[in-house]
């Protein structure tokens, strides 16, 4: 692993889950690696590393992004939310509750990205149809569930968030 001493790399200052971090990293460091390796927030997963699976989805400046497609340096100054930032006071977020109650996961590898995409999608579509849900999560791949329970969970989450 390339070690970058202070002053030699690119300074990246980001606010993640409400906490400011400042690190020096290689200019080629991907945001997902920055989040996992530099900040220790390993809830965000790397599935493909090629913009395909969505396992690495986080919210950056209010938009969902696949963090394997963004350089850490491009995120300088950004506000980022990861899966670790959703729950509060040890209570699951309503979207997490909905995934749990609807058995919307098996191996769990896609789940953090799926939930972060759902978080973004439901902000834009608070009362979605099933078709809109399927469209809204189409960039996130799950190899286990067949999607049925994930779609049910997203629809359930939309109700929980509206009530
Ligand atoms: S790891 Fe980023 S899209 Fe698959
Ligand atoms: S639960 Fe295994 S990939 Fe989605």
pLDDT at position 5 is 63
Going by pLDDT thresholds of 50, 70 and 90, the confidence category of residue 156 is very high
Nearest ligand to the CA of 112 is 2
Q: Report pLDDT digits (tens) over 109-131.
A: 999 999 999 999 999 999 999 99
| Window from 4-13, 60-69, 74-83, 96-105 with minimum mean pLDDT | 4-13
pLDDT at position 90 is 86
Q: Is 143 in the pocket of ligand 1 (CB under 6 A)?
A: no
Spatial CB neighbours of 67, under 8 Å, sequence gap ≥ 6 = 30, 31, 32, 35, 44, 56, 57, 58, 60
In this predicted structure, the answer to whether residue 9 has a pLDDT above a threshold of 80 is: yes
Q: Is 54 in the pocket of ligand 1 (CB under 6 A)?
A: yes
Contact predicate 48/55, CB 8 Å: yes
The best mutation among 113, 114, 143 to test binding of ligand 1, ranked by most ligand atoms within 8 Å of the C-beta, falls on 113
Helix or strand (DSSP H, E) at 22:
strand 19-25
Nearest ligand to the CA of 47 is 1
pLDDT at position 88 is 86
How many angstroms separate the Cα of 100 from the Cα of each of 3, 96, 145, 152? 40, 6, 13, 11
Mean pLDDT over 68-85 rounds to 98
What does DSSP assign to residue 66? E
Q: Report d(CA 43, CA 46) in Å as an integer.
A: 10
CA of 107 to the centre of ligand 2 (A): 5
Helix or strand (DSSP H, E) at 61:
none
**Rounded mean pLDDT of the chain?**
95
In this predicted structure, the answer to whether residue 79 has a pLDDT above a threshold of 80 is: yes
In this predicted structure, the answer to whether residue 8 has a pLDDT above a threshold of 90 is: no
Contact predicate 86/115, CB 8 Å: yes
Helix or strand (DSSP H, E) at 100:
helix 94-101
pLDDT at position 89 is 84
In this predicted structure, the answer to whether residue 7 has a pLDDT above a threshold of 70 is: no
């Amino acid at each position: 692993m390339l070690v970058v001493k202070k002053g030699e790399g690119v300074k990246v200052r980001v606010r993640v889950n409400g906490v400011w971090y400042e690190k020096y990293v290689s200019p080629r460091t991907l945001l997902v690696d920055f989040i996992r390796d530099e900040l220790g927030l390993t809830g965000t997963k790397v599935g493909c590393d090629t913009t395909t699976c969505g396992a690495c989805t986080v919210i950056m400046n209010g938009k969902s992004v696949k963090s394997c497609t963004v350089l850490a340096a491009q995120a300088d100054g950004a506000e980022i939310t990861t899966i670790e930032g959703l729950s509060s006071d040890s209570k699951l977020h309503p979207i997490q509750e909905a995934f749990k109650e609807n058995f919307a996961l098996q191996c769990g590898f896609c789940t953090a990205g799926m939930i972060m995409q759902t978080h973004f999608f439901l902000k834009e579509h608070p009362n979605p149809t099933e078709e809109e849900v399927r469209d809204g999560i189409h960039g996130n791949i799950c190899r286990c569930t067949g999607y049925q329970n994930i779609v049910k969970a997203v629809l359930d989450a939309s109700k929980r968030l509206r009530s």
